[in-house]
Structure 1
Amino acid sequence: MDDVLDGIGGGVMVVDADWRVTRANEAAAGLFGRADANLVGADVRDAFPESVESTFAGHFGGADASPSAVAFEDYFPALETWLAVRTAPVDDGMVVSLRDVTERRRLERTLADREAELERLNRINAIIQEIIRELVGATTREEIEETVCERLAASDLYEFTWVGEREATSDRVASRTAAGDSDGLLELVDDDSPDAPETPERAVLRSGETRIVRRLVEDEAVPESVRRVAFARGLQSAIAVPLRYGTTTYGVLGVYATRPDAFSDRERESLETLGVATGFVINAARQRNLLLSDTVVELTFRVTDAADVLVAASARFDCSLSVAGVVPLGEGTLLCYVAVRDADPRAVLDAAASRDGVEGGRLVHETGDDEDAQGGLFEVTLTDASPLLSLTELGATVRTATFEDGAGRLVAEVAPDEDVRAVVEAVSASFVGTELLAKRERHRSVETAQEFRSSLHERLTARQRTALRVAYHGGYFQSPRDSTAEELADGLGISSSTLHYHLRAAQWKLVDAFLRGDDSERRRGETAEWHGGSEAR
C-alpha cells in the first residue's frame, strides 16, 4: 500500500474516522516539512498549520465535524506555500490529496497584476491625451498648469497634484497651482531648515531628472514633516516630473497617490511625456504672447564667458561675428547662422564645430579674396555653448547678437508679463560674467495686412510682381506643377532663365519680409552683401 501511495503524483494521506493519519506518502510529508513516519498517527487537523482563510478543520464545518468531501485552495504562511486540498470519504475515514500550486498562483498573480497595470496605464494615457488636447487651446501659463493639475487630481488614480517653480531669490520651491485635497501637505512640501532632507520636487529642479518615491512614509530622504502628513493622509507614493522644453526647466509637477509602489516605469514614462508636452506648450504660449503683444521688454546683455562658442571665436580670430538668424529645431537644439568679418570663415567654422555643445556645421558662402576683407556666412547646430539657445528656450526672441574682441552683445525681447528676473538668472547661471546692461519697455507698431502688402509692393519691381503673378495663377507653385517655367516664360516672351531670375528675387523679398519683420530694413544692406547684391537687382 505504501508503495502505491508513493507512486502517486502529489501528496496523499489516509485519515481514519478520528482524524488520525494512518498512511502518508513521502510527497505529503515533504509538503509539511517532516518525515512520513512522523506524520502517521498525528491528528490531521493539527498537522495542517493555519492558513490565511481558516484552519483545516474550518473547511469541514468546525472541530466537531466528521471527515467529508471538500476541495479548497489556501495559502499557508508557515509553509510559504499555496496548497490545493481535496478529500474523498472512504470506509471509516477519508483520503486527502495535496498539491503544491504555489507557482501557478504566482503566475496568476503576476498576470493579474500586469492586466491591472495595463488597465491603469490605458486610463492614465487616456487622461494624458485628453489633457494634451486641452493644452493646445490654452493661452496662458496659469491656464496650462491648472489644466494639468485639475485633470490629474480629478481621476481616482491620484490624490493630490501641484506645480511649483524655484523662487528667484532662494532654492525653495514656490507653489504656482495645486489640485486635490492637500490637507496641509503643500505647506510642508519644502522644508527650508538647514538640515532638512531635499524634497523630491526640489531635487527635480536641481537635477532636471524625474524623482520617484515608492515608499513615501518610510523614505528618510523625504522630510519628516512630509512623511508625517503622508502617513495621516494614507499617501504612499509620489513622483516629481520636470516641466521641460529643451534644456529649460520651467517648473516641476508633483503627483501623490495612495497606491503602494505606484509609478511603474511605464507610468513614469507617461507622466514624463506629459511633462515634456506641458513644457512645450508653456514655451509656445510665451512665444505667442510675445508675438501678439504691442509692447515688449527689451533686454540687452553683455557676455564675456569663453564657454560661449562665439565669444571664444571672436577672441581667438580677432574678428567680428554677428548672428544673421536662428532656427529652433526642437528640444535643446538651435540652428544658427553666423556672419564673419575680417577672418577666414572656414577657420572660424572649424574651431566652432570642434567645441562641446556644437554639432557640426557648414560654410554657406565666403566673400573677399583679400585677407583684410575676408568674411562669409556659416551655419552651426548648437546644443549648448551659447546663451542664444538659453534665451530662445526661455521664450525670448533674439533681435541682434554681435561678438567682437572676446565679448558679445545680445538684444532680446520678452513679453511684458514675462518673469524678467528668471530669464536673466537662467542666462547668468549658465554663462559666468553675463551682465544685464539695459532693460526697457518698447512699443511695437502694428502693421495691418494692407500695410504689409503695400510695403511689399513697393519693394518688388514691376517685373518681379509680374513673375510672381504669372507663376501663382499658372499653378507653378502647385505640386505637381500645372505649368513649367518654360511655358510661363513663353507666355511672357522672355527666356526661362530671365523668369527664374525675377522669380527668385521676388521670392527672396517675400521670405525676407516675413522672417525679418521690423528688422528687414536695418539688415537689408548687410544681407544683400552676403547674397551677392541680389537686393540691388
Structure 2
Amino acid sequence: MEVTESIARAALDTLSSQIAVLDEEGHILFTNSSWGASGDGTAGAEADAEGFNYFDSVDPTEDDYAIEAVRGIRQVLDGECEEFTLEYPCHTPEGQSWFLMRATPFTIGDGNFATVAHIDITDRRLAELEAQDNARQAQQERQNLEHLVDRINGLVQDITQLLVESVSRDEIEHGVCERLADTDPYLFAWIGSAGISEERLRVRAAAGPADVDLDDETVALEADAPTPSARAFATGSGQIVSTVDGGSAVGRRYGDAGIEAVISVPIGNRESEYGVLTVCAGNPDAFDEREQIVLEALGRATANAIDALESKRTLTADRIVEMEFTVDDSTLLLNAASTELDCRFSYSGSVYGSNGALREFYTVEGCDPEVVRSFATEQEAVSDVTVLADHDDGCLLQLTISGSLVELLVDRGAVTKEITSEDGEMAFTVELSREADARALFELVADRYEGTELAGYHEHERPVQTRQEFRAGLEERLTDRQLTALRTAYYSGFFDWPRAVDGDELAAMMDISRSTFHQHLRVAERKLLDSFFERDRQ
C-alpha cells in the first residue's frame, strides 16, 4: 500500500495543475507539489495544506467564488452531482490570472472522497477578453457611424453586418468594396496593401461599374506621393482629391472612367495596419468632412474586424511568419565590438535575472576573452559583463545591456531564432504569429536604428508541435525559480565537460544558497525529462 501511495503522489507531482484530495468532511488528505502556488483557496503550500479543512478557509463575507466552490464540492461529496466546475479570477498586483476548479467524486469502501483540481486557464481567458474587446470596438464603430451620417445609414448597417458575419479577411475586403460601390454617389472602391518587403500597393479587392485600371500602383509609398492611396498608406491619415485633374497621376488612373473625386483612408487601428481603402465618386467635391469621418471610421471598423479574425486564427495558427533582417547601425554594442575587435558574436539565449534585467548570452569567436570583457565594461549601456567560459579563440559571454534590441524583440512577442554580429552588421531571424505583427515590429526597428534592411520574409506551416510550443508547455510546468536555475546553468556552461562554473557560482548569480539552487535545478531537470519523454511517446 505504501508503494501505491508513493506512486500516486509522484504521478500527481508531475502535473502542473494544483490537485488536492478531500475526505467527506472537507479535510485535505494530501496534495501535489503544485498546490498552493496561487488560486487554490487554501492557507498555504503543500506541506501546510495537508490536514487543513478546505471548507473552513472560506469567509462568507469576502469571497463569493469560494462560497460557490464549497457548495459545489459538498454536492459532489454528497453524491448530488457527478462533477462540479467553476471558473474564477485570481488576480495579483503583478497581473491577471484565471483558474478552472474541477471537483470529481470517488469512493473507497464506505468512504466518500473528492479530487479537487485548479487548472490555469489564463491564456484562454485573455484570448477571449481580447476577442470580446475587438468585438466591442467593432460595435462602437458601428454606433459612431450610425450617428454621423443618416444618409448612408443603410450602408453602415450592411457593412457592419458583413464585418460581424465574415469568416475571412478576403470576405471582409471584397464585401466592403461591393457595398460601397453599390451606394450612390460612389462608382468604384478598392483595397490595397503592401507586404513588408514591398514598397508598392497591390490590389486585394475591388468592385464597381467604373472601368478603372486595376494594375498594382507603381507609386512609392511616401507622404508626398502623387496618389491619395500611397499618401494614406504612408501617413496613416485620410487623403482627398476633390477634383480629379486629367493630367495628373490620379487623372491618368481614374479620369477615363468618369471619376471626379477620390478619397483614400487607412485600414488600421492603434495596434495593426492592413492597407488602404480607396473610394471613387462621379461628382466633384463628393467627399466633405462628414464623409471623410464616416469612411475613416469604416476603415477602423474594418481593421477591428480583421483583428478579431486574426486573434481567433492565432489561437489555432498552423502558419507562422519568419522574418530575417539586418541592422548595420554602429550605435549597437555588438556591431561596434565586432568592428573594433574583428570578431563574431552568435546569440545563445537569454534569461531574466531576479532584478528583472535581461541577461543575454553570446558565443564570441576570433578575440581574446579578456579583450572582449574589457571592451564591454567600458560601454555605458552595459551594466554587467561576465566571461562564463574560455575556449579556443573565443569565449561564452554574459551581458546585461540597457535598451537592448534583443529585449525589444522579446517584449514584442518575437521568437528569436538566430542573431549574429560580424563586421559591424547584426543579422536577425525571428518568428511571429501574424503578418501585421511582423510589419509593426520591422517598422519599429527601422525607425529606431539606421541601416535596417529586410533580408527575408516567409510564411510556413507550423509543425505538429514547434520548438516554441514544446518550450511553452515546459515553462508552464516550471516555477519561475526552476526555469531561471535551468537557464542560468545551461547558458553558463554548467552542463559542459569540464564545467565552466560550479554550483556555488550559479547560486550566487541567483542570490540563493547552494542547496536551494540544486533543489530548483534537480526539479527542473526532472520536469524537462518528463516533458521530453512524454513528447517522444506522442
Q: Where on the TM-score scale, by shorter chain, does this alignment land: which range? A: 0.3 to 0.5
| TM-score normalised over the length of structure 1 | 0.43
